[in-house]
Chain A
Amino acid sequence: MAPKKIPTPQGLSKAVKLPELWRKSSEKSLGSLLKRLRKEVTKSRANLAEDDGLDWLKPRALLKPDDQEEVADADLEEEVGRVLTTINPQWVADEVAYHYGQGRFVVKPRPSYGKAYPLFVFQGTAIRKDSDEAKAQIAAGYGMVSFDDAGPKKAKVKKSAAEEEEEEEPEPEPAATGEEAKPEEDAVAEEEKPVAETEEPAPTEAGAEQVEGEEGEVAEEAEPEEKQEGDAGEEVIEIKPRVKKLANQFNFCERAALTYVFPRRSVDTQTIPPPRANYGSTALQSVIFDFYQEDYARKMKEKEDEKPKRMRKKTTKHAKSAQQIHDEQLAQRIREAWAILERLVNQNIYDDIAQDYRYWDDPSDEFREGMGSLLPLWKFQFEPMRSHAVCDLQWNPHYQDLFAVAYGSLDFTNQQKEGCLCLYSIKNPAYPEYAVITESPIICLDVYKETPYLICVGRYDGNVCVYNAQLTLEGSYQYKSDSVRDKHSNIVWEVRWGARMIDGEASFFSISGDGRVVQWAVMPGELQATTIITLTSNVPPIPGPDGTLVTVNSCGSCICFHPEKSEIFMVGTEEGMIHTCSLKYNRNYVSSVQGHHMPVYRINYNYFNNSIYASCAGDWRVKIWEDGRDEPLFMFELGSPVGDVKWAPYSSTVFAACTADGKVYVYDLNVNKYRPICVQAVVSKKTKKLTRIDFNARLPVIVCGDTKGTCHVLKLSPNLRVMCKPPKKAQGVDQRTLQIMKLDKLLSLVRDPPFTPGVVDEKFEDD
């Protein structure tokens, strides 16, 4: 079967060429154009010239460049026609080029169109048969089924016009070459004729050819080329006797399903707006500081919590709950706040006294040579102790404004049932800082210098106790002697703290009417008693009712320790004896002096000379002694039982004594060896007696107690506290050395010649 060729409808191919319109331009046409233009310009200029309003345009001449070619007017007038053609007039139809491969000239493949401008592009769905995609489809059995199914046939598949349009790329068509095309041309020569005929009646093209001579020829020559090309576009493809339909845009079915669309709806709900509040505060540096402190404390606590439980348990066992601690602290703060408020109120009330205390010095002292006075300041009273006597008082060694008072009774026929230990501060004269009521009157006390809150007291019933002023619970003592086993069997007349024991425990000594001196070691939880010495008397043993001899002890009434030698102490007895004893000998006295004729009430060492001491007794006398001498250096008779005598802490020669007739005597041996430099009645002698006196260690005040429970604080006038002036030779010697020197000088005067007490008695004048 010979392949059948179907001629290409040339009309279609022509239609493709239509857009190729070419403007035929030449020098002539250009010239005519210019001429026509100029004519129009001159014409319009003429019009303009006629217009009066545009006179200024008249003198204008047409400017032309110098190098412009001069053209004759006739040439300029020539008309040039311009025609648009579909054929490129400059196209060379049979362009050949030398083919080096073949060694000859071959017709140059002509681009399908040169300067074509696609006006419209439409992407078709058809594909080229010779493309890989089409081949694959055909191989798969798809194909056209438009022809009859009478056996296998050779069908010629013609590209659609659209497909040709689509081929924009100038595809080199090997079929277009002459040699290749020829055999085919021969085979289909007869069939091409109708094609040529159909081409004939194209009048426009023919017309154009005739008008433009040489160009028309070119166009005609181009015709066969075109035909050839059209033939080359056709391809003969063997089509298999069909089966499958080729899926195209017209041959498919589409199915659609509509899913259920849920109706949309909006649900709104409104919540209750969160509570709002305005807060304002000032960020002070202290606030930030506090926060950091809190944060630090918290971190510390966390660190503590991280510790192993075993270690923590110990601490938590004893720890109180945070609330408890807080409550206690709050209570403490409230207490302190009220205490200070009370002091402030009192300060306002006693403002004048405070001013006096601080600033008032008796100006009359300047005119009274060697005489002084005492300025009464505050009076301290504790209401429940109105009827009690101040049996002992002592300034606190640590706090200069504080003094301790022991309330008891010296009226032994009508003894009080209870006593009281008070701590007063001169800052609050109205009420004691610390007050504890005891079940038995307190006769003596001593404040421990190492820990000034520990106070030991000796009681009327023979017991000794240690009170801790830090413990706020009233009526609580820290230690108390065992009432059955250890206690004294008589009044404890004096207690004194001693040096610490070998194993570090504090200890104090007590002397009692039963003649024993007992050392009390302050053990944890108890007092351990050791009898140091039993005071023997010269009285021979008295036979008892049943004939047994009873030894009579002498009654101790006061005790005093040597300031340096802690084992040496002196004991005064009710018989007036002064025994010097040592802790190391519990049988005998070191020495013994018949100092007085009545009970010795106080023995006090000088602060500047350890061998000088003063004693006072109920025999109205105050005596100044030197260690190792049986006779006193000085003796003063005060006309009334002397309750107390104390050396001044600021001067080696000053001492003060108080008497039962309510007077305070102040002596300065340096000023007057025989007479007091101040005698002042502090209380009325009819109703009250002065019992005890004490110098403040730092302030120029003394305190003395009376039998009606009142403590009087007195200020020493300037003459009573005269300090030593350093001699010109020894400038810069400290006061203490001067005081020692002063006393030594005085003593040297007194020691020689030896004197008798009678001499002193003579010179003493009672006032």
Chain B
Amino acid sequence: MATEVEETIKRIQAHKGVMGVVIVNHEGIPIKSSLDNATSVLYAGLIGQLTEKARNVVREMDSTNELTFLRVRSRRHEILIAPDREFILIVIQNTSD
């Protein structure tokens, strides 16, 4: 399984426009990242909060519901977020061109 996931990560990184992949553990610490440390920490911290907020929004509207994915589209990038109870996966993709 580990290799399968590793391969998937490798593939995603090889895809067009993908700028970085960050894996954040449940404590909000980036445990694996293709970006430099400062940026990783920045993404982990900010997106952790955003995810928590988004989750609360979803859960508050329907407690049996659950946030599964989050896409933040900006002019330059798209941040793809896969939140989970125990991890957050973040992919930053350049979509401007």
Contact with A along B36-74 (1 / 0, CB 8 A): 000000000000000000001001100110001101000
- Looking at the complex, which one of A285, A331, A349, A431 makes contact with B60 (CB distance below 8 Å)? A285
- Looking at the complex, which one of A290, A331, A345 makes contact with B91 (CB distance below 8 Å)? A345
The answer on a CB contact under 8 Å between B63 and A338 is no
In the complex, chain A residues whose CB is within 8 Å of the CB of B5: 334-335, 338
**Could you tell me which residues of chain B, from 1 to 59, have a CB within 8 Å of some CB in chain A?**
1, 4-5, 8-9, 11-12, 15-18, 56, 59
The answer on a CB contact under 8 Å between B64 and A289 is yes
How far is the CB of B27 from the nearest CB of chain A, in Å?
15
The complex places the Cα of A265 from the Cα of B49 at a distance, in Å, of: 59
Contact with A along B73-91 (1 / 0, CB 8 A): 0000010101010110101
The complex places the Cα of A285 from the Cα of B69 at a distance, in Å, of: 21
The complex places the Cα of A331 from the Cα of B5 at a distance, in Å, of: 9
The answer on a CB contact under 8 Å between B69 and A348 is no
The answer on a CB contact under 8 Å between B84 and A349 is no
The complex places the Cα of A334 from the Cα of B2 at a distance, in Å, of: 10
The answer on a CB contact under 8 Å between A346 and B64 is no
The complex places the Cα of A349 from the Cα of B15 at a distance, in Å, of: 8
The answer on a CB contact under 8 Å between B17 and A338 is no
Closest to A288 in B: B63
- Confirm or deny: A270 has a beta carbon within 8 angstroms of a beta carbon on chain B: no
The answer on a CB contact under 8 Å between B63 and A286 is yes
Scoring A289, A345, A346, A472 by chain B CB atoms within 10 A of each residue's CB, the highest score goes to A345
The complex places the Cα of A342 from the Cα of B12 at a distance, in Å, of: 6
Contact with B along A333-363 (1 / 0, CB 8 A): 1110111111011101100000000000000
- Looking at the complex, which one of A289, A338, A340, A349 makes contact with B9 (CB distance below 8 Å)? A338
The complex places the Cα of A346 from the Cα of B59 at a distance, in Å, of: 29
The answer on a CB contact under 8 Å between A289 and B82 is no
The complex places the Cα of A749 from the Cα of B37 at a distance, in Å, of: 76
The complex places the Cα of A348 from the Cα of B18 at a distance, in Å, of: 10
How far is the CB of B59 from the nearest CB of chain A, in Å?
3
- Confirm or deny: A284 has a beta carbon within 8 angstroms of a beta carbon on chain B: yes
The answer on a CB contact under 8 Å between B91 and A284 is no
The answer on a CB contact under 8 Å between B80 and A338 is no
The complex places the Cα of A348 from the Cα of B91 at a distance, in Å, of: 12
In the complex, chain A residues whose CB is within 8 Å of the CB of B80: 341, 344-345
The tally of residues in A whose CB lies under 8 Å from a CB in B reads 25
The complex places the Cα of A472 from the Cα of B5 at a distance, in Å, of: 12
- Confirm or deny: A161 has a beta carbon within 8 angstroms of a beta carbon on chain B: no
The answer on a CB contact under 8 Å between B86 and A330 is yes
The answer on a CB contact under 8 Å between B89 and A286 is no
- Looking at the complex, which one of A331, A341, A348 makes contact with B1 (CB distance below 8 Å)? A331
The answer on a CB contact under 8 Å between A342 and B17 is no
Q: How many A-B residue pairs have CB under 8 A?
A: 75
The answer on a CB contact under 8 Å between B12 and A345 is yes
The complex places the Cα of A641 from the Cα of B56 at a distance, in Å, of: 61
How far is the CB of A510 from the nearest CB of chain B, in Å?
31
In the complex, chain A residues whose CB is within 8 Å of the CB of B59: 284-286, 289
Contact status of A341 and B86, CB under 8 A, knowing A289-B63, A331-B1, A335-B1: no
The answer on a CB contact under 8 Å between B15 and A333 is no
Interface residues on B, range: 20 to 34
The answer on a CB contact under 8 Å between B56 and A284 is yes
The answer on a CB contact under 8 Å between B60 and A286 is yes
Closest to A331 in B: B1
Contact status of A338 and B15, CB under 8 A, knowing A286-B63, A330-B86, A348-B93: no
- Confirm or deny: A430 has a beta carbon within 8 angstroms of a beta carbon on chain B: yes
Scoring A289, A330, A341, A431 by chain B CB atoms within 10 A of each residue's CB, the highest score goes to A341
In the complex, chain B residues whose CB is within 8 Å of the CB of A335: 1, 4-5, 8
The complex places the Cα of A430 from the Cα of B18 at a distance, in Å, of: 14
In the complex, chain B residues whose CB is within 8 Å of the CB of A285: 59-60, 63
- Looking at the complex, which one of A289, A330, A333, A342 makes contact with B11 (CB distance below 8 Å)? A342
The answer on a CB contact under 8 Å between B89 and A338 is yes
- Looking at the complex, which one of A337, A345, A430 makes contact with B93 (CB distance below 8 Å)? A345
**Could you tell me which residues of chain A, from 374 to 388, have a CB within 8 Å of some CB in chain B?**
none
Contact with B along A278-295 (1 / 0, CB 8 A): 000000111001100000
In the complex, chain B residues whose CB is within 8 Å of the CB of A341: 12, 80, 82, 89, 91
Contact with B along A453-496 (1 / 0, CB 8 A): 00000000000000000001010000000000000000000000
In the complex, chain B residues whose CB is within 8 Å of the CB of A334: 5, 84, 87, 89
The answer on a CB contact under 8 Å between A431 and B95 is no
In the complex, chain A residues whose CB is within 8 Å of the CB of B1: 331, 335, 472
- Looking at the complex, which one of B4, B64, B82, B93 makes contact with A340 (CB distance below 8 Å)? B82
Interface positions of B (Cβ within 8 A of A): 1, 4-5, 8-9, 11-12, 15-18, 56, 59-60, 63-64, 68-69, 71, 78, 80, 82, 84, 86-87, 89, 91, 93, 95
Interface positions of A (Cβ within 8 A of B): 284-286, 289-290, 330-331, 333-335, 337-342, 344-346, 348-349, 430-431, 472, 474
3 nearest CB pairs, A to B:
A286-B59, A289-B63, A337-B82
New A-B contacts (20) at CB < 8 Å, excluding given A337-B82, A337-B89: A284-B60, A285-B63, A286-B59, A286-B60, A334-B84, A334-B87, A337-B87, A338-B12, A340-B69, A341-B91, A342-B8, A342-B11, A342-B15, A345-B18, A345-B93, A348-B93, A348-B95, A349-B17, A472-B4, A474-B4
13 residue pairs of the A-B complex, CB under 8 angstroms, read A333-B86, A334-B5, A337-B84, A338-B12, A341-B91, A342-B12, A344-B71, A345-B12, A345-B15, A345-B91, A346-B15, A431-B8, A472-B4
